[in-house]
């Protein structure tokens, strides 16, 4: 459980390499760099003198799956339990969104749209033309933006614990019910007590960690606090600006039935708004962090959906 927080960076890199992915920085534009975990087979070391890795194989060999993390952790910590079992059949890419993990930008734009645009530029630089996007929480909102802006790239989506856009009313209702005064109080804890409150809201069963682990987690996961606060502000759109785009893709809403942050009803409601190509599936005994609380069930459901999609024409060997 969140075990990657407690161990050292080189060990994470080794474990992830065994699971099938390696870290690779992509320059999106001058001043904006995004870290991606990319499939083993697309990475080559140019020579032994420079340690810098480079992507030489321009195209991934298998159908591409992109896993987008939520607000409280970067890519690897979020998807640690899914990567290994997906990477045999799929080329798995795990980005760190801007101001998380190894990604940063000097651009002042804090909208989910900017995250989506940078992510797509990065994926294109990695040779990806089409992909299935899996988005959790904040990452789900970025995924929806990506699918709306780049329908030619996004073949299908799996969304967990997320909504199309954070409207004033959803954000107020949710926070009131949970007893927090602001989204940053909930999502950007600055103390062990605050982090415990977040974990307790985000999970179905209360998980126990030693205080030391909480402290390490706060240090590792909550850097760039100022920018992340601004991202949260950039998230809330006023109710009247909220419209439902038409998505041509298949969308699978894969939910923790006990999600207290974005309830199962929101998913049902969204299915109704999104139409016939959207399906909902609930996973019992799981809260918001469903992919971490019930990793095996979550991965199974994910694989079943991926297998049900029509083959990606662009992926045929050339």
- Pick the binder of ligand NAG from 13, 15, 17, 218 (CB under 6 A): 17
- Pick the binder of ligand NAG from 275, 284, 285, 308 (CB under 6 A): 275
Rg of the chain in Å (alpha carbons): 19
- Pick the binder of ligand NAG from 7, 11, 18, 296 (CB under 6 A): 18
Q: Is residue 31 close enough to count as binding ligand NAG by CB under 6 A?
A: yes
Q: Which is nearer to ligand NAG, 152 or 276 (CB)?
A: 276
Would you call 101 helix, strand, or coil by DSSP?
coil
Q: Is residue 311 close enough to count as binding ligand NAG by CB under 6 A?
A: no
CA distances from 46 to 17, 154, 256, 291 (A): 18, 31, 43, 36
Q: Is residue 62 close enough to count as binding ligand NAG by CB under 6 A?
A: no
* Closest separation in Å from C-beta 303 to ligand NAG: 15
- Pick the binder of ligand NAG from 152, 241, 265, 276 (CB under 6 A): 276
Given the structure tokens 């080559």, which residue do they identify?
44
Q: Which is nearer to ligand NAG, 191 or 273 (CB)?
A: 273
Rounded CA-CA distance 165/157 in Å is 16
Q: Is residue 60 close enough to count as binding ligand NAG by CB under 6 A?
A: no
- Pick the binder of ligand NAG from 4, 5, 16, 20 (CB under 6 A): 20
Q: What is the DSSP string of 187-253?
A: HS--SHHHHHHHHHHH-SSPP---HHHHHHHHHHH--SHHHHHHHHHHHEE-GGG---PPP-SEEEE
H or E segment and range at residue 44: strand 43-44
Q: Is residue 160 close enough to count as binding ligand NAG by CB under 6 A?
A: no
Contacts with ligand NAG by CB under 6 A: the residue count is 13
Q: Is residue 30 close enough to count as binding ligand NAG by CB under 6 A?
A: yes
* Closest separation in Å from C-beta 230 to ligand NAG: 14
Q: Is residue 87 close enough to count as binding ligand NAG by CB under 6 A?
A: yes
Rounded to 5 degrees, φ, ψ at 308 are: -80, -10
Q: Where are the alpha helices (DSSP H) in the chain?
A: 3-6, 9-19, 75-86, 112-125, 138-149, 168-178, 183-187, 192-202, 211-221, 225-235, 264-274, 290-293, 295-308
Q: Which is nearer to ligand NAG, 10 or 30 (CB)?
A: 30
25 with 89: CB under 8 angstroms? no
- Pick the binder of ligand NAG from 169, 277, 284, 300 (CB under 6 A): 277
- Pick the binder of ligand NAG from 46, 179, 245, 248 (CB under 6 A): 248
Rounded CA-CA distance 180/196 in Å is 13
Query: Where do contacts with ligand NAG occur on this chain (CB under 6 A)?
Result: 17-18, 20, 30-31, 40, 87, 106-107, 248, 275-277
């Amino acid at each position: 459980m969140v075990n990657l927080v407690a161990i050292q960076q080189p060990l994470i890199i080794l474990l992830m390499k065994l699971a099938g992915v390696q870290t690779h920085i992509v320059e999106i534009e001058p001043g904006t760099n995004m870290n991606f975990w990319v499939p083993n087979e697309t990475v080559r070391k140019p020579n032994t003198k420079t340690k810098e890795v480079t992507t030489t194989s321009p195209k991934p060999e298998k159908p591409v799956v992109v896993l987008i993390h939520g607000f409280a952790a970067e890519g690897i910590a979020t998807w640690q339990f899914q990567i290994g079992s997906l990477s045999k059949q799929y080329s798995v890419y795990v980005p760190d969104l801007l101001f998380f993990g190894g990604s940063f930008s000097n651009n002042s734009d804090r909208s989910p749209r900017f995250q989506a645009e940078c992510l797509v530029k990065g994926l294109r630089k990695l040779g990806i033309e089409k992909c299935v996007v899996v988005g959790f929480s904040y990452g789900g909102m970025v995924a929806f933006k990506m699918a709306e802006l780049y329908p030619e790239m996004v073949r299908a989506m799996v969304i967990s614990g997320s909504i199309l856009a954070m409207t004033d009313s959803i954000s107020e209702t949710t926070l009131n019910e949970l007893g927090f005064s602001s989204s940053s109080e909930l999502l950007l804890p600055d103390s062990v007590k605050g982090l415990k409150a977040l974990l307790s809201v985000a999970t179905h069963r209360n998980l126990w960690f030693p205080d030391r682990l909480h402290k390490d987690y706060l240090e590792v996961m909550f850097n760039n606090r100022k920018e992340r606060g601004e991202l949260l502000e950039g998230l809330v759109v006023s109710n009247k600006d909220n419209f439902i785009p038409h998505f041509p893709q298949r969308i699978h809403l894969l939910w923790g039935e006990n999600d207290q942050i974005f309830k199962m009803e929101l998913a049902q409601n969204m299915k109704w708004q999104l139409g016939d190509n959207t399906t909902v599936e609930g996973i019992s005994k799981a809260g918001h962090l469903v992919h971490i609380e019930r990793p095996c069930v979550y991965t199974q459901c994910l694989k079943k959906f991926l297998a049900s999609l029509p083959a990606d024409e662009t992926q045929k060997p050339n």
